[in-house]
Amino acid sequence: MGVRLDAVTLGMTECLKDEESCVGQRLDLAYLRVAQVRDRGFVMHGQGFDMEVVDWAGPALPRRLGLVRVSVSGVYLGEQRMTGERGMVHRFRKVKEIVGASVVVAWLWAVVGFVRRRFRG
């Protein structure tokens, strides 16, 4: 547990509270939507912030970005800009969430039906 706690890196919440202490530190952001593609990077949209990623070293982004989410690890440069030293493109993240939620709802529906039939006799 102690090793895991030491390995945790900064998140955007800490940088929004005290940006000066975050500049130059490693920042990990996960499963964010790509809002805009630029020449050497892109802009990610999170809750309450837009992060510009420069020098993207991850895999190429697909042309259609509607269902795509991106995870990025890099150095925070300040003013909601960071490098994209490592990254991953999650192509169907939203579809996976919808399918997972549908399975949970169907399972709960089946359990409720079973319990109702069981108590009726």
Q: What is the pLDDT of residue 45?
A: 85
CB-CB contact of 26 with 15 (8 Å): no
For residue 6, name the pLDDT band (cuts at 50, 70, 90).
very low
CB-CB contact of 53 with 43 (8 Å): yes
Q: What is the pLDDT of residue 68?
A: 81
Mean pLDDT of 67-92: 87
Rg value, the chain, Cα: 20
Token pair listed for 70: 């991106």
Q: What is the mean pLDDT of the chain?
A: 82
Q: What is the pLDDT of residue 96?
A: 79
Q: What is the pLDDT of residue 25?
A: 87
Token pair listed for 97: 């969430």
Strand partners, 23: none
Mean pLDDT of 17-34: 85
Cα–Cα distance between 102 and 66 in angstroms, integer?
20
